[in-house]
């Protein structure tokens, strides 16, 4: 008499079911291939999603002697890590710049990494730092906080790595082509247009202004800049900001590292507004007098101001190679000479 029924005696899938699944897989692959080809034909390209997870993965790549790029969208879209690597020491810098953030919390985070003895190239716009803008400060502090939290969460790190690897290979995963937006496009009959930027796996985010209307884009930036009336720091507030910067720079340089503050070129009316609200002699020059960091102002180097900024403050992707080459050479010279 049989006392039990072994699970091994369960019927196995017939060959017809196996063929069905294989056929379904082939059809799915073909459909995705057609979908991918269709959107690439409309100008979409693979792009890593610009979120905190991508930044965290990049931050994990910072080693003791890494060159690190810190700042906002101007740094992220203007400096190509691959080109920098060829011009400098053969090693690509880690791109930690992030849209709409202040550089100070990130610089402070690097200062707190006791093993860090590398080169930190920091984009510094007086309006973003001395204007005491809370939004960029909070955004940068938040991503640093998430990074520290993720160090204790392998699941979060795995999810971030997987998302970056997949997004960098398929154009149809662009957020502009999400199911929600596709439904909206189907109802309106207006298909999504390819964005004028895409982020690589190394977080370089070049801007292709040929895919947009530069005049309209500039008017948007200009309107935002005019509407924003920055806070003019008091002497006490200015001293507090300078002290905070000094406390971030000092540990890195004490350990043998270097910090470079970089002022990016701006153009047209955007430049006029920034110079009027935050004149160089009252802000940039005051920082230069108070810090031991290397100071590089674009206006002092013709090779950095030989480019047009279509929207007043960002470089077009066609200029990033030449700009990066010029900047890397200047930084290399200034560091070796100091």
Predicted pLDDT at 188: 62
CA atoms within 13 A on the CB side of 164: 20
Residue length, the chain? 338
Q: What domains appear along the chain, each with residue ranges and CATH number?
A: 48-187+199-337 (3.40.50)
Q: Are 140 and 98 in contact (CB under 8 A)?
A: yes
Q: Which helix (H) or strand (E) holds 120?
A: strand 119-123
DSSP 197: B
Taken in order 148, 151, 153, 156, is the CA torsion positive or negative?
A: positive
Give the C-alpha separation, 50 to 206, whole Å. 12
Predicted pLDDT at 89: 76
Q: Which helix (H) or strand (E) holds 68?
A: strand 67-70
Interval 266-278: pLDDT, tens: 988 889 888 988 9
Q: Mean pLDDT, 10 residues at a time, over the chain (338 residues)? A: 50 63 65 55 59 87 96 95 90 93 95 96 90 84 89 66 55 56 60 66 89 72 68 88 96 97 92 90 94 97 93 92 97 93
Helix (H/G/I), strand (E/B), else coil: 207: strand
Predicted pLDDT at 212: 77
Give the C-alpha separation, 144 to 159, whole Å. 18
Q: Which pair of structure tokens corresponds to residue 187?
A: 């109802």
DSSP 214: H
Interval 42-84: pLDDT, tens: 555 555 667 788 899 899 999 999 999 999 999 999 999 999 9
Helix (H/G/I), strand (E/B), else coil: 297: strand
From the list 65, 67, 69, 44, the residue with the least C-alpha distance to 55 is: 69
Write the CA distances from 217 to 77, 92, 265, 275, 310, integer angstroms: 16, 31, 18, 21, 8
Write the CA distances from 21 to 11, 25, 26, 146, integer angstroms: 17, 6, 9, 41
Give the C-alpha separation, 134 to 118, whole Å. 28
């Amino acid at each position: 008499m049989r006392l039990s029924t072994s699970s091994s005696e369960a019927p196995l899938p017939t060959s017809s079911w196996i063929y069905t699944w294989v056929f379904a897989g082939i059809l799915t692959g073909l459909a995705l291939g057609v979908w991918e080809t269709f959107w690439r034909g409309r100008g979409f390209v693979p792009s890593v999603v610009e979120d905190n997870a991508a930044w965290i993965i990049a931050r994990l790549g910072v080693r003791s002697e890494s060159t690190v790029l810190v700042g906002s969208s101007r740094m992220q879209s203007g400096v190509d890590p691959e080109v920098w690597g060829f011009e400098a020491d053969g090693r690509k810098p880690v791109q930690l710049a992030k849209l709409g953030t202040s550089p100070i919390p990130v610089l402070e985070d690097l200062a707190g990494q006791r093993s860090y003895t590398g080169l930190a190239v920091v984009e510094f716009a007086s309006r973003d730092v001395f204007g005491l803008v809370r939004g960029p400060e909070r955004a940068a502090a938040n991503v640093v906080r998430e990074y520290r939290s993720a160090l204790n969460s392998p699941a979060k790190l795995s999810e971030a790595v997987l998302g970056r690897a997949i997004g960098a290979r398929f154009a149809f995963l662009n957020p502009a082509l999400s199911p929600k937006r596709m439904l909206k496009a189907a109802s309106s009959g207006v298909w999504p247009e390819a964005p004028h930027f895409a982020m690589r796996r190394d977080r370089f985010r070049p801007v292709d202004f040929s895919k947009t209307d530069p005049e309209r884009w500039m008017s948007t930036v200009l309107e935002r800049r005019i509407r924003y009336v920055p806070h003019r720091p008091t002497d006490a507030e200015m001293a507090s900001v300078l002290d905070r910067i000094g406390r971030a720079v000092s540990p890195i340089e004490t350990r043998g590292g270097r910090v470079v503050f970089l002022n990016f070129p701006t153009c047209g009316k955007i430049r006029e507004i920034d110079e009027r609200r935050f004149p160089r002699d009252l802000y940039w020059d005051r920082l230069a007098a108070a810090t031991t960091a290397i100071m590089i102002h674009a206006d002092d180097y013709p090779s950095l101001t030989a480019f047009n900024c279509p929207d007043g403050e960002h470089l077009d992707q066609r200029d990033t190679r030449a700009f990066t080459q010029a900047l890397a050479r200047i930084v290399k010279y200034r560091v070796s000479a100091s």
